Amino acid sequence: MTGIRPLRACGVASDYRSDRSSMVKDFYLPALASSTSYDRAVGYFTASVLAVLGEGIDMFAARGGTMRVVASPYLDQEDINDIEAGYEVRAVMKRAALRDLEQATEDLRGARGLGKLGRLVAEGQIDFKLAYVEERGRVGMYHEKMGVFRDGRDVVAFKGSANETRSGLVGNFEAIEVFRSWDPRDADRAARISENFDDLWNDRTPTLRVVPFTEAAKRVVQRSAQATAGRDDLDELLPVGAPIATTVQAPTGVLGIPHSLAVRDYQKEAVQNWFRNQGRGILRMATGTGKTLTALSAAAQLSSFLREKEDASLLTVVVAPYQHLVDQWAKDIERFGVTPIRAYESISSWSLRAHDLLHALALGAASGGVMVTTNATFGGETFQNLLDSYAGQLLLIADEVHNLGARYLRTQLPEKAQYRLGLSATPERWFDEEGTDALKCYFDEIVFEMGIGEAIRRDALCRYTYTPVLVELDDEEAELYAQVSAKIARLIAAGTDLKESADKDSPLGKLLKKRADIIGHARGKLEALYVEIEKRHKGRHQLIYCAEGKHPLLHEQGIDGPRQLDQVMRMVGNDLRMAVARYTSETKRLVRQDILWRFERDELQAIVSMRCLDEGVDVPASHTAYLLASSSNPRQFIQRRGRVLRKAPGKDRADIVDFVVVPPSGDDAIQLETERNLLRRELARVEEFAHLADNEATTLDVLRPVRERYGLFDT
């Protein structure tokens, strides 16, 4: 602390009141100038306060000072309604706090404050948490206001009415009481306030819940830090109401490859191949190998090429199957320097901004722009009309491109798109040659391909062990399986076109789904799952894929029984006492984000899912996957394997446990050929998984007795 006045010499008084002193000049700035750490707990905290504190924060940060802030965000009526409707409180709180930060970027003072905050975040000098009351089912706001300055020796603690907002420090009439550790009259109170904050920060205060703020919030302030870099001349505090004679240039919307991104050699090769094919083609890349970043790198290079060679702007439209994938794409796009327009849900929430973007591109006011949308919104009339009105350079990126081969979507693909890029680990459509051909006709050929085996060899995915667990159908299941198989055989013998299998509402499609459901819901899987999870019940980062719907026998017998997912949740959460959450299509979007955030940070041991983790969701920390939902569809089991093979710090190997259904032993419950066909379908998946596993030989030995019984060594 050489050359810096200690706290006891900075001249802080015992109290401050707006009618006789300035909170900022007389208290905050002198205390900051003498402190190495600053803790603050308030009802509301906004980034604009950092602009008010100005130079004091800069000097504090330059000395390596650290801040810890606990605050309660402002809840609007929609937030309150969501809590009352049963939304998870922490998810709503995080949404509200993030909204506060986003709104602050629209205000110059707030943007300057966010810029400072972002730089402190980037340097690890500030952390912030959210607090709320939770007692006997009651949710309330946290309104306590206290603060603690420290210099390594002494403490200055204070309590009072001021919030950590610009109006709280400048515009309002406020009062605070100050307690100094070196004053015998104040020492006990200063120590108690300091201890109270530590208890609060570590979530040890009864009736209060304190949770970390989201990574999304950190990205908001870090973006603002970049946007305000080099504008320190604006950091002098302007009097309230003074005019601001400043022109803020709008972002151009041009994608740029971030310096922090290490583009892999195979990703560069994929982009080069796409350019050689005149900016058209499909990338068949294994799940987890970075298709998104590869596509955005291609878009960034294309945008740069068009500006330099043709002085042309580029509109990039990204189409993804689901809303959560749109949000995921948006985060990656922001890494490339552009805040995209997210087009989904209410048309009014994005349509006006989309039209403004197209006008800016047409007038030359913007050099580029990005819109990211769902398949459903993309196929809708409003979005299609928007694309029809655009006459400039257009790049269409299709995530999980196989979905766009559906009849109602492939007719909506814009012919005016000069550049087209499709992404998928499995671009071929299952039992739909017509849809597959339509995609190849529109996007052109596969210009780059890297399967899971090559990805593992190139260290793009981690190695894995594979454990097939044999599960027998019981007699009832075997009998129903035989009946359904016989009906399928009769339909095919009568000339039913196998293409109808792609239509789940056709007679053949319904029967095929029912037969698959018998396999997926085989009762023996639950007991086998218990055994496998019990072996790993202390482990983290586990995914459990459940079969959809309910057991077909329940429908046959007119029984309203539980879903497999509900049974697994009870088993894992109640019986094995593991921290677990469900992740399904019924799970609200904000809750999904919170589940993945908690899973990544070890607050959850397991996620139980139905299909929703199949496509595109990033869960790189996942270590173990249990596959209850058996599938002969290559896309589904390849996607699920890819989910758990993603690389992550400290992760060098994954573990896949697959529950393989076999006919009941010891009787002739079903005909031999039906049994053989059942096993052929299951063994095709097992051999695909085992082929690249570290324990391939051991895995295949497990299946030897079954192969011998049914004479399937040629399969």
pLDDT digits (tens, 9 = 90+) for 560-597: 889 999 999 999 999 999 999 998 878 877 788 788 88
Quickly count: other Cβ atoms within 10 Å of residue 317's Cβ: 24
Mean pLDDT along residues 625-651: 76
429 SS3 class: coil
Structure confidence at residue 659 (pLDDT): 94
What would the pLDDT profile of 155-187 be if each residue is shown by its tens digit? Answer: 999 998 644 444 344 445 678 899 999 999 999
Structural contact between residues 647 and 564, judged by C-beta atoms closer than 8 angstroms: no
Q: Which band of pLDDT confidence, cut at 50, 70 and 90, is reported for residue 64? A: confident
What would the pLDDT profile of 347-395 be if each residue is shown by its tens digit? Answer: 888 988 898 888 888 877 788 999 999 999 999 999 999 999 999 999 9
Structure confidence at residue 241 (pLDDT): 32
DSSP run (H or E) holding 17: strand 15-17
User: 517: closest CA among 482, 553, 470?
Assistant: 553
User: In whole angstroms, how large is the CA radius of gyration of the chain?
Assistant: 30
Question: Does position 433 have pLDDT exceeding 90, yes or no?
Answer: no
Q: 265-457, superfamily in CATH? A: P-loop containing nucleotide triphosphate hydrolases (3.40.50.300)
Structure confidence at residue 236 (pLDDT): 30
pLDDT-above-70 percentage for the chain: 76
Check for a shared fold between 265-457 and 463-473+523-710.
yes
What would the pLDDT profile of 242-274 be if each residue is shown by its tens digit? Answer: 332 222 333 367 899 888 888 889 999 999 999
What would the pLDDT profile of 651-695 be if each residue is shown by its tens digit? Answer: 889 999 999 988 887 555 445 667 777 777 778 788 888 889 999
Question: Does position 300 have pLDDT exceeding 90, yes or no?
Answer: yes
Q: Which band of pLDDT confidence, cut at 50, 70 and 90, is reported for residue 80? A: low
Q: 463-473+523-710, superfamily in CATH? A: P-loop containing nucleotide triphosphate hydrolases (3.40.50.300)
Domain definitions of the chain by residue range: 7-229, 265-457, 463-473+523-710
Most confident of 136-145, 192-201, 478-487: 192-201
User: 542: closest CA among 643, 425, 407, 650?
Assistant: 643
Please state, in angstroms and rounded to a whole number, the distance separating the CA atoms of residues 37 and 325: 40
Structurally, at CATH architecture level, domain 7-229 sits in 2-Layer Sandwich (3.30)
Mean pLDDT along residues 412-434: 87
pLDDT-above-90 percentage for the chain: 34
Triad 631, 634, 638: Cα angle to 5° = 95
Distance of CA 672 to the CA centre of its chain: 47
Question: Does position 67 have pLDDT exceeding 70, yes or no?
Answer: yes
DSSP run (H or E) holding 84: helix 77-84
Most confident of 83-97, 127-141, 233-247, 331-345: 331-345
Structure confidence at residue 502 (pLDDT): 57
What would the pLDDT profile of 112-130 be if each residue is shown by its tens digit? Answer: 445 556 566 666 787 878 8
Quickly count: other Cβ atoms within 10 Å of residue 103's Cβ: 12
Question: Does position 194 have pLDDT exceeding 90, yes or no?
Answer: yes
CA dihedral 336, 337, 341, 343 (to 10 degrees): 20
DSSP class per residue in 229-288? TT-GGG-SPPPTT------PPPP-------TT----HHHHHHHHHHHHTTSEEEEEE-TT
Structural contact between residues 606 and 579, judged by C-beta atoms closer than 8 angstroms: yes
Q: Where are the alpha helices (DSSP H) in 536-611?
A: 552-557, 564-569, 589-600
Q: What mean pLDDT, rounded, does the chain reach? A: 80
Q: What pTM value is reported for the model?
A: 0.60
Burial of 102 (0-12, 13-18, 19+ CB in 10 A): middle
Burial of 399 (0-12, 13-18, 19+ CB in 10 A): buried
Residue where the block lists tokens 């029912």? 514
Structure confidence at residue 448 (pLDDT): 96
Structural contact between residues 615 and 325, judged by C-beta atoms closer than 8 angstroms: yes
